[in-house]
A and B are shown apart, each in its own frame.
Chain A
Amino acid sequence: MNEVASRLPIIAGVLTMVVTLSALLIWLERRLLGFWQERYGPNRVGPFGLLQVVADMIKIFMKEDWVPPFADKAVFVIAPAVIIVTVLMSFAVVPFTPSIVVADLNVGLLFFLAMSSLSAYSVVLAGWASNNKYSLLGGLRASAQMLSYEVFMGLSLMGVVMLTGSFNLGDIVEAQRDLWFCIPQILGFIIFLIAGLAETKRIPFDIPEAEAELVAGFHTEYSGMKFGMFFVGEYLGIILISAMITVLFFGGWQGPWLPPAVWFWIKTFLFICLFILLRAALPRLRFDQLMTFGWKVMLPLALVNLAVTGALVLIGHPPK
């Protein structure tokens, strides 16, 4: 029990930090998009428009919490909770610094993959429970997309696992003391970045909620705080994928002079900005293009990466 008590402040700290950051990220995204499109973005409420987030939150909490009469009520209510729970659970294994990690699992990386595969249910169930054809189409697209991209998301990470010899995220960061994995695993990094974009359903992979064709896809029938949960879940997902890229390919907390936590958040912040830049720069793919790209380009590349890394590891350290 003592050990549990000593973990509680870390759990509370991590939860507070990531939820606050995901709210701030909504403001950051709108400001950065404005900056790149040569306009201001929200700059009226509070200093630099920072209180815009608070204003939006008050508004969304005041909205009527509406469940359509034709929906499957229980599933409709569970769906938005699933995404928040699975993404927040994934943060449990992320090592922010050598000492700040909620659960130092020896299968940490697999835990992250497990949670990201469970998060697919949120979208699928939301699409089904809404009992609306646009939602159903969004849900179908989402389940196909997330299933396909999970396959090589896992495969792209196995190169890192081979080089480290462990699924523990702390060990993976330690193994990058001399050389960040983004150099030997450059292919794995690119594949993981693309798979991460698809998993968070961001442009150019936001086909499940394509506004131009599906109203809002799987969350067409959602309003108020239930919609807010999908929204925050998406931003939490961006933070999670950026944090995982930092941990797996860019040396996690490592770096000279500055304290570990600062290094971790600087790197993560840069990847969050990259995600927003991609949204500002790229158009949306067509659905068949997405599937073809996934299965015919990314999967073979991930397999080649796996085979080459395996061969090189074997040459470097032949088994006794």
Chain B
Amino acid sequence: MTGAFYLASLVAVVSTGLVITSLNAVHALLYLIVSFLGVAVVFFLLGAPFIAMLEIIIYAGAIMVLFVFVVMMLNLGRQAIEQESAWLMPRIWVGPSILSATLLVELLYLFGFGVLSQAGGIMGQAPKQVSVVLLGPYLIGVELASMLLLPGLVGAYHLGRDLRNEDA
């Protein structure tokens, strides 16, 4: 089990790195999907199968399809790849590297002091427990999220309406 955990984490970390360094936008998106799948396996092994499945259905299965869809429609060519490779100059790496290194050091520090050794905080979360918590103490969060989604939906519908048919 521990071996599977580290393997899945390794896949997630490596593919996330490749998301940043790939020059081709679709390849980067594919690596991002692999990274989500790796994270889903990690969730599964930590004893949260419900979260793992939602990770695949929502992130890997729905949101990323939309991303791929948009990138497909943009039809990025060789020009975009050249632009990307210009953006990935060593000079550009400095700022993000410092920020990420800070976070990494902080994470290692926390691990070292055993604060995060109880990763089992999400152990054994069956679908029922998750729903009880979600619609109990965190109900307001769920409601706020749904309120946020509704204006998005209405807005998208407004932008996408067919003016020609309305005039007729």
A residues apposed to B, CB below 8 Å: 72, 74-75, 105-107, 110-111, 113-114, 117-118, 120-121, 124-125, 127-128, 136, 139-140, 143-144, 146-147, 150, 154, 167
Contact = CB atoms under 8 A, between A and B. Distances in A.
Kindly list the 9 A-B residue pairs having the minimum CB-CB distance in the complex, ordered from nearest.
A117-B61, A110-B53, A114-B56, A107-B49, A114-B57, A143-B69, A107-B53, A128-B72, A114-B53
**Interface SS, A side:** helix
A124 B30 contact: no
Given A124-B68, A143-B68, A106 B49 contact: yes
Contacts of A107: 49-50, 52-53, 127
Contacts of A106: 49, 126-127
Contact of B72 (A74, A113, A139, A154): A139
A99 B30 CA distance: 37
B69 A144 contact: yes
16 contacts: A72-B26, A75-B26, A107-B49, A113-B57, A114-B53, A118-B56, A120-B61, A121-B68, A124-B68, A125-B26, A128-B72, A136-B72, A143-B68, A143-B69, A147-B62, A147-B69
Interface string B6-35: 000000000000000000101100100100
A12 B41 CA distance: 23
Contacts of B26: 72, 75, 125, 128
B101 interface: no
B27 A110 contact: no
Given A75-B26, A107-B127, A118-B60, A147 B66 contact: yes
Given A118-B61, A127-B72, A167 B56 contact: no
B162 to A, nearest CB: 10
Nearest to A120: B65
A204 to B, nearest CB: 23
Contacts of B53: 107, 110-111, 113-114
Given A111-B53, A117-B61, A120-B65, A140 B73 contact: yes
Nearest to B51: A107
B65 A121 contact: yes
B122 interface: no
Interface of B: 24, 26-27, 30, 33, 49-50, 52-54, 56-57, 60-62, 65-66, 68-69, 72-73, 75, 126-127
B69 A117 contact: no
Contacts of B126: 106
Nearest to A136: B72
A128 B75 CA distance: 9
A75 B49 CA distance: 29
Contact of A150 (B50, B54, B61, B69): B61
Contacts of B52: 107
Contacts of B49: 105-107
A162 B65 CA distance: 29
Contact of B30 (A75, A127, A136): A75
A50 B61 CA distance: 38
Contacts of A121: 33, 65, 68
A124 B69 contact: yes
Given A124-B68, A136-B72, A117 B57 contact: yes
Contacts of A128: 26, 68, 72
A110 B24 CA distance: 32
Most chain A beta-carbon neighbours within 10 Å: one of B30, B66, B72: B72
Contacts of A117: 56-57, 60-62, 65
Nearest to B69: A143
A120 B33 CA distance: 13
A110 B30 CA distance: 22
A124 to B, nearest CB: 6
Contacts of A124: 65, 68-69, 72
Nearest to B73: A140
Nearest to B61: A117
A146 B66 CA distance: 11
A93 to B, nearest CB: 11
B72 A147 contact: no
Given A143-B68, A144-B69, A167-B127, A110 B57 contact: yes
Given A106-B126, A107-B50, A114-B53, 16 more contacts: A74-B27, A106-B49, A107-B127, A110-B53, A113-B53, A117-B60, A118-B60, A121-B68, A124-B68, A125-B26, A128-B26, A128-B72, A143-B65, A143-B72, A150-B62, A167-B127
